[in-house]
Chains A and B, each alone.
Chain A
Amino acid sequence: MALLDVCGISDWLKEDGFNAKAASVDKVNHFSFAARTPEFAVPVGVDPAKFLKPLTDNEDGVNGVKLELEHGTTTLAFKFQHGVMVAVDSRASAGSYISSQTCKKVIEINPYLLGTMSGSAADCMYWERVLAKECRIYKLRNKERISVSAASKLLANMMVGYRGMGLSMGSMICGWDKKGPGLYYVDDNAVRLSANMFSTGSGNCYAYGVMDSGYRYDLSVPEAYDLAQRAVFHATHRDAYSGGTVNIYHMQEKGWIKVSHENVEELYHRFAAEKK
Chain B
Amino acid sequence: MSARYDRAITVFSPDGHLFQVEYAQEAVKKGSTAVGIRGKDIVVLGVEKKSVAKLQEERTVRKICVLDEHVCMAFAGLTADARIVINRARVECQSHRLTVEDPVTVEYITRYIATLKQRYTQSNGRRPFGISALIVGFDYDGTPRLYQTDPSGTYHAWKANAIGRSAKTVREFLEKNYTEEAIAGDNEAIKLAIKALLEVVQSGGKNIELAIIRRNQPLKILEASEIETLVAEIEKEKEEEAEKKKQKKSS
Interface residues of A (CB under 8 A from B): 2, 6, 23-25, 31-33, 142, 146-147, 149-150, 153-154, 157
Contacts and interface: CB of A to CB of B under 8 A. Distances in A.
A33 B120 contact: no
Contacts of B126: 2, 25
Nearest to A151: B100
Chain B interface residue count: which class? 10 to 19
A150 B102 contact: yes
Contacts of A24: 119, 123
B108 A32 contact: no
Interface of B: 84, 92, 95, 98-102, 105, 108, 112, 115, 119-120, 123, 125-126
Interface of B is mostly: helix
B95 A150 contact: no
A31 B101 contact: no
A157 B98 CA distance: 11
Residue of B98, B102, B115, B120 with most partner-chain A CB within 10 A = B102
A156 to B, nearest CB: 10
Given A31-B112, A146-B100, A150-B102, 20 more contacts: A2-B125, A2-B126, A24-B119, A24-B123, A25-B119, A25-B120, A25-B123, A32-B92, A33-B95, A33-B99, A142-B105, A147-B102, A149-B100, A149-B101, A150-B99, A150-B100, A150-B101, A153-B98, A153-B100, A154-B99
15 contacts: A2-B125, A2-B126, A6-B84, A24-B119, A25-B123, A31-B92, A32-B92, A33-B95, A147-B101, A149-B101, A149-B102, A150-B101, A153-B98, A153-B99, A153-B100
A157 B99 contact: yes
A23 B125 CA distance: 11
Contacts of B95: 32-33
A80 to B, nearest CB: 23
Contacts of B98: 153
Nearest to A157: B99
Contacts of A33: 95, 99-100
Contacts of A23: 123
A31 B116 CA distance: 11
3 closest cross-chain pairs (CB), A and B: A150-B100, A33-B99, A149-B101
A31 B115 contact: yes
Nearest to A144: B105
